[in-house]
Structure 1
Amino acid sequence: MIDRLFDHIKKFSSASDADLLLIQEVLSKKSFRKKEHLLTSGHTCHYKYFILEGCMRSYFVNSKGAEQIVNFAIEDWWMTDYDSFINQHISQLNIQAIEDCTVLRLSKSDFDQLMTESPSISTYFRTILEKRHIADQRRIQYMFNLSGEEMYDTFFDHNSAFTQRVPQYMLASYLGFTPEFLSKIRKKKAEERS
């Protein structure tokens, strides 16, 4: 299963076998059951998680007591609370397995050491972080510029794997919709296809 991560690293950097060995030595494999939390708000995030199998979400509970989903992640994606992980302070986010998950876990201290020891691994993580930032930036732009239906279409076009794996109420939260509004959009789309 480590080969899955190695392939991902090689896709975004020129990591050598020695670089891959460095990261392999500090990773630990862990499994989480569906609905199990990897992180709960009020605690510090000590790990980055590379998903080998499964689907996760990060979310916070807003002032009205509703869950607001920040991100989803599936196989070959990293999941963490970047703010808490990098700054090592209390997290406002929760990270939860939506499905049974198997991950490779990388601690903050090992991450920091890898960043200084391996320029290639550092390049890999910088590239992944840049891609995450671009995706988050686009999502914010979509929320301000697109209608609800256009936003759903854009999400579906770029992330169709999520629409089959993520419960509708979670997808609605991520897109900033009520579940009822998302249901209306999906019903309309189904009618257009028939």
Structure 2
Amino acid sequence: MQKDLLHHIGKFIPLNEAEQQLLVDRIRYEKIPKKGFLLQAGKVCSGRFFVISGCLRQYVMKENESEQIIQFGLPGWWICDHRSLENGEPSEYYVQATEVSEVAIIDAGVQEELFSKIPLLERYFRLIFQRAYDASLTRISLEYCISGEERYHQFAKNFPDFVQKIPQYMLASFLGLTPEFISIIRAKKKR
């Protein structure tokens, strides 16, 4: 499992053997059962979660008690509530496994130690955050600038395996659509 994380980090920054070992020694790994939680609303986020296998979803409960999925965590992606982690505030979000998943966790208490002992890690996370921010802006602009059907097709084109794997209601929540609307789009495609 640690090879996956080290390989991912190695795409962005070089770490020597001592730095790699320090990182491996400070990270913990966890297997999350399907529907298991890494974070629940009202709790403080305890760390950064790197998805090694499986799939996670981050969502918030709306006033009408429906779920709004904010993001998915696929293998090779990080997921957490940054505001809760950095400020020690209770989270508004849930982070839940949609299938059995394995994650590497950098606990909040270990993060600063790693940053001071491996300064390049701060650069790594800056690069990761820049990519995540860009993806968020792209998602927001798509939400406002193209139709729901176009959003679905673009997402399906970019993540074809994921669209087949994730339940339709979760995909609908993420794309701001209804499951029924996605059924109509899929039915059109089959004609």
Alignment TM-score > 0.5, same fold: yes
1:124 counterpart SS class: helix
Q: Distance in 2 between matches of 1:22 and 1:130?
A: 25
Give the distance between the partners of 2:120 and 2:16, measured in 1 at CA: 8
Within 5 Å, give how 1:172-187 maps onto structure 2.
Answer: 172-187=172-187
Q: Are the counterparts in 2 of residues 19 and 120 from structure 1 also a CA contact under 8 Å?
A: no
Please name the residue that 2:51 is paired with.
51
Q: Which secondary structure does the structure 1 equivalent of 2:38 belong to?
A: strand
Asked if structure 2 preserves the Cα contact closer than 8 Å seen for 1:51 and 1:102, the reply is yes
Q: Distance in 1 between matches of 2:160 and 2:82?
A: 25
Q: Distance in 1 between matches of 2:144 and 2:58?
A: 22
Give the letter for the 1:147 counterpart: S
Runs (4+) of structure 1 exceeding 3 A deviation are: none
Aligned to 1:160: 160
What residue number does 1:19 align with?
19
**TM-score computed with the length of structure 1 as normaliser:** 0.94
Code of the aligned partner of 1:82? H
Structure 2 counterpart of 1:66: 66
Task: Please state whether the residue corresponding to 2:177 is helix, strand or coil.
Answer: coil
2:94 and 2:100 map into 1 onto residues whose CA distance is 16
Report % sequence identity.
36
1:136 match: 136
Mean Cα deviation higher: 14-23 or 106-115: 14-23
Secondary structure of the 2:31 match is strand
Structure 1: runs of 5 or more not aligned: none
Distance 1:38 1:164 in 2: 24
* Contact 1:40/1:93 (<8 A) preserved: yes
Letter in 2 for 1:178: T
> How many matched pairs?
191
